[in-house]
Amino acid sequence: MMQIGGSKTLPALPQYNMRTIAAILLLGTLPTFAQTNQPVIEVLPADGQFYTNAQITRVTPAYAVVIYDRGIVQLALSNLPASYQKKFGYDPDKAARFLADERQKVQEQRAALIARQAAYNRAVAALTGTNRPVQIIAILDEVSNGGIPLCAIPEAPEGVLVKNLPDSVHSFLNRKIQLAADINSFNAKVQADTSTADRAVAVAPTFASPYPDVIDAQNNQRAQANLMAVKAREEQAELDQMKKTMSDLEIETADRTTITAFPTGQFFGKFEIWNCVGMP
């Protein structure tokens, strides 16, 4: 089940149309067939028709499944030649009981599928159109899925598709991502420059020299070290400001990324589609 806000949940059931239900029910009867290893029959007459290069692949008490040149067909045993009826133990009473049981099973399966579909539809109907505040944690994909943004939300971290997502949400989340990358990159530079400045200050000469040219060289070296230290402090101050800005953005995140939206009950691929109707 998938939780959609509050305590409501949707049953884990895709929507079926009647053609799909019929196909499922047909497939559901296949395990009742008995496998056979019959040789290929050059011409199989049945019910006034002829099936060339036929092979009987499955047999039930009532019918056989035959693959032939033009496809696959289900033939009643009563319409096969007498030799095949005898070979497969055809009994009209057993065939009638088998068909009755099979019809009953198909009806039960169909009723169960329809009941599950109805329950799913009721759950979707109860949720569809119900606006609620939803925080966009991240935008996972803006290109695929028909161009509808795939967004992580608390109810579905793996993502839902949000139609009409405000540009302000895009801008805010992109700003946070870019600032985080800038902080990470600049932090490495600040650490390197601070380390270099500390070494320059440490090795700058402090002893007095009687020679003017040596004094000039020493003064120049100390001046360069001091400039490097000043630059490192300025960079650290800039980094601290960037981190403060990120902290401020974190405080604003809930307000800036919370939208008013509702689940539509529709899907694109495996992702549910939500519709945004604005900001709270």
Q: What is the pLDDT of residue 132?
A: 86
Q: Is the pLDDT of residue 189 over 90?
A: yes
CA neighbor of 161 nearest in space, from 146, 144, 148: 148
pLDDT digits (tens, 9 = 90+) for 129-184: 578 899 999 999 998 888 899 999 998 899 999 999 999 999 999 999 999 999 99
Q: Is the pLDDT of residue 278 over 60?
A: yes
pLDDT digits (tens, 9 = 90+) for 25-45: 444 444 444 445 678 899 999
Q: Is the pLDDT of residue 248 over 80?
A: yes
Q: What predicted TM-score, i.e. pTM, was given to this entire model? A: 0.50
Angle at 275 between CA 269 and CA 278, to 5 degrees: 150
User: What residue segments make up the domains of the chain, in order of their start?
Assistant: 2-125, 132-280
**CB-based contacts of 24-29 (< 8 A; 24+ apart in sequence):** 24/109, 24/113, 25/106, 25/109, 25/110, 25/113, 28/105, 28/106, 28/109, 29/102, 29/105, 29/106
Q: Which of 36-45, 74-83, 230-239, 264-273 has the lowest mean pLDDT?
A: 36-45
CB atoms within 10 A of CB 72: 9
List C-alpha distances in Å: 169 to 82, 256, 275. Answer: 75, 7, 14
User: Contact at 8 Å (CB) between 134 and 259?
Assistant: yes
pLDDT-derived band of residue 225, with 50, 70 and 90 as boundaries?
A: confident
